[in-house]
Amino acid sequence: MSWRITATAIHSDVRRVLDELVPEAIRQGANPDVYADAARAAAALSLHVGRSTGGVAIEISGHGDTVAEVKVSLWDVKSAAKLADQQRAAEAKRRTEKQAREERERAERERLEEEERLKKAAASE
């Protein structure tokens, strides 16, 4: 059974993040001891390569009891933070636009209801 675990973290949290993924690795069919050894090695390597950018993306893959590949890639924390900020701003803009649209629709419904009420009042007089 093939398995693949991917983690992205700032360099100081890599070990914790990889440890938290042990249940997922087991669920996918990885041997926990083999995964733990590969995670330890990847975390140690990431402490060296991740310092300049602040973080790393690690991918550990294998088949059953065998680790096939460990990839450690630089992850630019500042760029990731900018992207997250842009995504949050876009979501806030969408929410604001939705709220404005709902407010316009509510005001239009109230206006129509008031017109209908006035028509009924005029007709009953």
Q: Is pTM, for the whole model, over 0.75?
A: no
Rounded to whole angstroms, what are the CA distances from 51 to 47, 65, 72, 115?
6, 31, 13, 67
Tens digit of pLDDT for each residue in 52-71? 666 788 899 999 889 999 98
Which pLDDT does position 67 carry in this prediction? 92
Over residues 29-36, the mean pLDDT reads 90
* 42 has pLDDT over 80: yes
Q: What SS3 state is found at 53?
A: coil
Distance in angstroms (rounded) separating the CA atoms of residues 52 and 44: 15
Over residues 67-80, the mean pLDDT reads 80
* 106 has pLDDT over 80: yes
Q: Which phi and psi angles does 21 have, rounded to 5°?
A: -90, 0
Strand boundaries in 53-93, DSSP class E: 54-63, 66-76
* 107 has pLDDT over 70: yes
